[in-house]
Amino acid sequence: MLIIGLNGSPNKNGNTKVLLEKILDQAKSLGAETMILEVPELLKSAKQPFCIACSNPCSGQCFKNTALGDAFELLAKADGIVFGSPVYFGSVSGQLKAFFDKTRKLRGEKVLYNTVGAGATVGNSKYGGQETTMKALHDIMLVQGMIIVGDGYRDDDCGHHGVCAQRPGGEDSFALKRAEILGKRLVEVCRATESLRNAKN
């Protein structure tokens, strides 16, 4: 089982990374292979960092033979993906949005169809746009045909939309607890839906 974290923050070792690591550490303790991809670094490898719809359907020429293209190949192998983003004006970071604008080819080929997805967000204040950012993450997942899970688990509670933290994320004890619960839920649903992903291969 492979679960990938996408760090959509321009701050490589910031609050978003803390949450992603907590989620993935829990998944790893349950047997999953995990890794984190740094979205801003991947975008820099592309010939054009923003999608300009240069071909329809998307040919993928703008990320061919780049680190971004390699990342998309890794996502195709993933059982689960955790989307991490700080709150920027009540929504996802520009970097994460640009990253997914580049995935038109993946969507056309149903690469992420039935991949399990979850989200983690960090805002500057208690009510700082975390839930609207989470909804934006969910919208991206739905457009890709992914299976969305929240931060609940059978031994805890049904959960909510995902992990939402107030900065500094490493000191938000409630969010860190939810991150561990989400890690367990991800592994549970990845195992239960494995046959759905195998069917597309």
| pTM (two decimals) | 0.94
Dmax of the chain from CA atoms? 48
CA atoms within 13 A on the CB side of 33: 7
Q: State the total domains in the chain.
A: 1
Instruction: Flag whether 200 is in a domain.
Output: no
200 pLDDT band, cuts 50/70/90, is low
Domain annotation covers residue 9: yes
Alpha carbon distances (Å) from 52 to 16, 55, 82, 100, 101: 28, 9, 26, 13, 9
121: domain CATH number is 3.40.50.360
Residue 197 within a domain: no
State how far the Cα of 31 lies from the Cα of 23, in Å rounded to an integer: 13
The domain of 42 spans 2-192
Would residue 74 count as lying in a domain? yes
Contact between residue 174 and residue 156 where contact means Cβ atoms under 8 Å apart: no
The predicted model gives 27-38 an average pLDDT of 97
What DSSP string describes 42-58? HHHTSSSSS----SSS-
Is 198 inside a domain boundary? no
Tell me: the pLDDT tens digits for 53-81?
888 888 888 888 899 999 999 999 999 99
**Tokens coding 131:** 């839930």
pLDDT (tens digit per residue) in 156-168: 999 999 999 999 9
* Predicted pLDDT at 55: 85
